[in-house]
Structure 1
Amino acid sequence: MMDNKFIFVLGSNFKLSLAELDNVLKYSKFKGKIVDYSANIAVVEFEDLHKNKHYINELMELQYLLGGIQKISKVFDFVHMNTLMEAFPSHIEKYRVVEITRNKILTLINNSLPKMFKRIKNESLFFAVSIYPNFYDEEY
């Protein structure tokens, strides 16, 4: 279930950011747990924060408390890395496979957009992707 999952983009000292986040999740009103992490993000599941209609206000307060967190984002769905590699290979051998996989991803995006942007109907949409290196001293 994705309703209670959020991604936290960690600061340049990711170990310190993780420790700070873990401490806040254990000992504050923002009860939750880190379920996965890397050198640049942590995936957090909250116990009940997401049930509040105005949970965005809680996230703003949480971001204010967490000095080592760059961004917080809600997870609406998940695409496995293998699916992305199949959809966007460095060399295309079978375009039909690429096309089918890209269409699956496009369907997932189209199904997720109404959850993210409640009032978009026949309007333009600007979509951006943030890319982070594994470590801050590595090239992108």
Structure 2
Amino acid sequence: MFSLILEGKTKVEWKCQHLRWLVEEEEVEEEEEEEEEEEEEEEEEEEVVEEEEEEEEEEEEEEEEEEEEDEEEGGMHQASSHITTPSQDPISLPHHWATITPSGPITTTSVNLTPVPITPMSITHTNGLWAPSPSHQCPV
């Protein structure tokens, strides 16, 4: 049999070239996959940013609506925007905070803790070794 010669290349040379092409093709595919993954990550980040911006806009709109309602109510809201502490000192708060009024005296609960006595184990020295005293040994 004779060796296959095409354009001056042997069969082995063609196999080597084919393997090089496969490796190059695989590298190109990996690069494309990496680029696609990066694009997907960027799109996800953009979506998260857009959602956060939408939430902020909604919150701002709600605050504006609350301000408009407060303006319509007039002076009624000013009285409710203060917290009355037990000493009756009013504290001014932003309009969107809840009004908190104590319903009675403030009480605290105390817990009595009893100390647990700790008795140290006596240690004796026997035959060059430290060991617990016989009174503290476990029963056999």
Relative to the length of structure 1, the TM-score reads 0.20
Higher strand share: 1
Please identify which structure carries the higher helix content: 2
Structure with more contact order per residue of length (Cα contacts < 8 Å, sep ≥ 6): 1
TM-score, length-scaled by structure 2: 0.20
Which structure has the larger Rg? 2
